């Protein structure tokens, strides 16, 4: 059996659950959940043991014994695909089981068996010393199908909102735009009961603070099984707006992107990045609400991935606006000019899930992978180490977002008759992008996310030269609403002194 390295044992001591994504050389994906149950040692003792680089057989056997309660299973319930990241763990006569939050189906963590007759896919776990460095590491058996499996994501599951914003230094510091009074997170009338209803409500929520709070609440309801269903197969599924709602003050500050290109100070830079993240929250909900009903064959894992993405973007927005408030109290979010470039691409790709995945997630977000390292380094050189920490969190998350884009783009290609993902992607860019996709490219992180150079080298869009997209005039391109300026599709290039 082929074993895949997950991580050094010591790296798994921070949390009791981790989400894992693995990919084969054939671009087959599996989403997994690792459960680390309490062992006989406390964290400090286990850290002490695992820090010793020893090949002593007795020590290795001790580590095996102390960590035998590490389990890996598929992250989706085999019943109806519920996210198992928030499954309850219970001990019964036959062993330890994970209980699905949706319908209470239980699965033995070792064998995957359930009293219902269903069976979840579980994977063998081993903890052993790596002879190359003497470090105790956790390994898992790989899925049977596919070859050369690799780990592309390992992230902890937190019971709280992941990576909360850093505290603001003074209580007098303005933060986000205030939430509209008397508008609760959960509407008092016709509260959403499905993920689709929550998605459309959030898209129609103009206040960014309330948008973040509703995102956190909706994702938690979805993960813990408190929503009645995803709702994408309902005959009465609500329709998303053409353009997400924005506060009046925000709309008045929406300008041509050419007027906000030269960004030279930290406050302007952070405001611009927060603007991107606010649109990114909406993009994650829009792909759920817009394409879920028209693609009923989408599995629950698709909705789990993009709900997670919406939560990540909310986290990024909160982190950035907190930093903005800390370094520039006089310019809270919403007080500077912004633009709507990202939503032009959303409009151009609103007719096709395949197009949306290609342009938003494999071009726009992949460009972020290219630009972020240099941006982080500029903040570092300027001495703003708190913002460096924020940007490093954002960048790590963005790698997983591009991975999700690649995963579901290749899935769509397979559903459409196993069309070639690379040539299909390049054609989507040709008709849905304007101009050259420029380097330099972050080849390492792009490859980690599934994008080989064949995807992006010598890539150019011809959207300006195509008279019709999906049978309609291109005059609508760049004119999303009367209040939004004409824009040029380009990732937000930014500079610091």
Domain boundaries along the sequence of the chain: 3-38+64-156, 195-462
Phi first, then psi: give them for residue 344, nearest 5 degrees: -60, -45
| CB proximity list for 179: less than 8 A, separation 6 or greater | 207, 209, 210, 213
Q: What is the pLDDT of residue 178?
A: 53
Q: Count H helices, E strands: the chain?
A: 14, 15
Low-confidence ranges of the chain (pLDDT < 70): 39-68, 158-182, 255-264, 464-497
Q: What is the pLDDT of residue 418?
A: 84
Residue 51 CA to residue 48 CA, distance in Å, equals 5
Q: What is the pLDDT of residue 64?
A: 47
Q: What is the pLDDT of residue 396?
A: 94
* CA distance readout (Å), 282 to 314, 372, 482, 495: 10, 21, 20, 26
Residue 424 CA to residue 186 CA, distance in Å, equals 41
Q: What is the pLDDT of residue 58?
A: 45
Residue 487 CA to residue 1 CA, distance in Å, equals 53
* Structure tokens given for 77: 């319930």
Helices 385-415, 421-432: inter-axial angle, 10-degree rounding: 110
Could you give the 3-state DSSP secondary structure of residue 267?
helix
Q: What is the pLDDT of residue 162?
A: 37
* CA distance readout (Å), 51 to 47, 99, 440: 6, 34, 39
Q: What is the pLDDT of residue 261?
A: 52
Could you give the 3-state DSSP secondary structure of residue 472?
strand
* Cis preceding linkage at 440, omega within 30: yes
- Which class would CATH give 3-38+64-156? mainly beta
Could you give the 3-state DSSP secondary structure of residue 413?
helix
Residues of the chain by 3-state class (helix, strand, coil), percent to 5: 40, 15, 40
Q: What is the pLDDT of residue 196?
A: 98
List, in sequence order, the alpha helices (H) in 144-207: 195-203
């Amino acid at each position: 059996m082929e074993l895949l390295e997950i991580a050094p044992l010591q790296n798994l001591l921070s949390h009791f659950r981790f989400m894992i994504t693995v990919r084969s050389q054939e671009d087959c994906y599996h989403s997994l959940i690792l459960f680390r149950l309490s062992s006989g040692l406390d964290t400090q003792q286990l850290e002490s043991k695992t820090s010793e680089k020893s090949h002593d057989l007795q020590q290795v056997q001790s580590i095996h014994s102390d960590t035998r309660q590490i389990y890996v299973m598929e992250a989706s319930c085999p019943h109806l695909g519920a996210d198992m990241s928030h499954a309850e763990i219970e001990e019964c006569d036959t062993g330890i089981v994970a209980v699905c939050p949706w319908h209470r189906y239980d699965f033995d963590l070792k064998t995957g068996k359930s009293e219902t007759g269903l069976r979840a896919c579980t994977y063998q776990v081993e903890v052993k010393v790596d002879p190359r460095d003497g470090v105790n590491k956790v390994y898992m058996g790989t899925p049977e199908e596919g070859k050369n499996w690799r780990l592309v994501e390992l992230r902890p599951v937190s019971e709280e909102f992941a990576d909360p914003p850093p505290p603001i230094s003074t209580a007098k510091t303005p933060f986000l735009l205030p939430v509209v009074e008397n508008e609760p997170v959960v509407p008092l009338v016709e509260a959403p009961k499905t993920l689709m209803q929550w998605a459309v409500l959030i898209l129609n929520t103009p206040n960014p603070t309330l948008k973040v709070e509703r995102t956190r609440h909706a994702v938690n309801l979805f993960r813990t099984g408190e929503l009645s269903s995803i709702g994408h197969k309902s005959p009465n599924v609500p329709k998303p707006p053409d353009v997400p709602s924005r506060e009046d003050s925000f709309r008045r500050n929406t300008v041509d992107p050419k007027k906000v290109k030269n960004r030279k100070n930290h406050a302007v830079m952070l405001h611009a990045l927060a603007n991107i993240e606010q649109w990114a929250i909406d993009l994650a909900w829009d792909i759920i609400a817009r394409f879920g009903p028209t693609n009923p064959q989408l599995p629950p894992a698709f909705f789990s991935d993009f709900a997670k993405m919406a939560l990540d973007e909310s986290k990024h927005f909160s982190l950035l606006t907190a930093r903005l408030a800390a370094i520039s109290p006089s310019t809270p979010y919403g007080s500077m000019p912004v633009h709507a470039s990202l939503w032009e691409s959303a409009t151009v790709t609103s007719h096709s899930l395949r197009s949306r995945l290609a342009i938003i997630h494999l071009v726009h977000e992949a460009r972020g992978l290219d630009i972020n390292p240099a941006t982080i380094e500029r903040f570092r050189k300027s001495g703003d180490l708190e913002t460096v920490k924020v940007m490093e969190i954002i960048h790590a998350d963005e790698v997983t977002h591009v991975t999700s884009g690649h995963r579901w783009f290749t899935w769509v290609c397979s559903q459409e008759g196993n069309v070639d993902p690379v040539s299909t992607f390049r054609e989507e860019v040709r008709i849905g992008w304007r101009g050259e996709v420029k380097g330099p490219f972050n080849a390492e992180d792009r490859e980690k996310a599934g994008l080989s150079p064949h995807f992006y080298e010598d890539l150019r869009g011809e959207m300006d030269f195509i008279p019709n997209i999906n049978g309609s005039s291109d005059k609508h391109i760049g004119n999303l609403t009367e209040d939004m300026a004409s824009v040029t599709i380009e990732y937000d290039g930014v500079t610091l002194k």
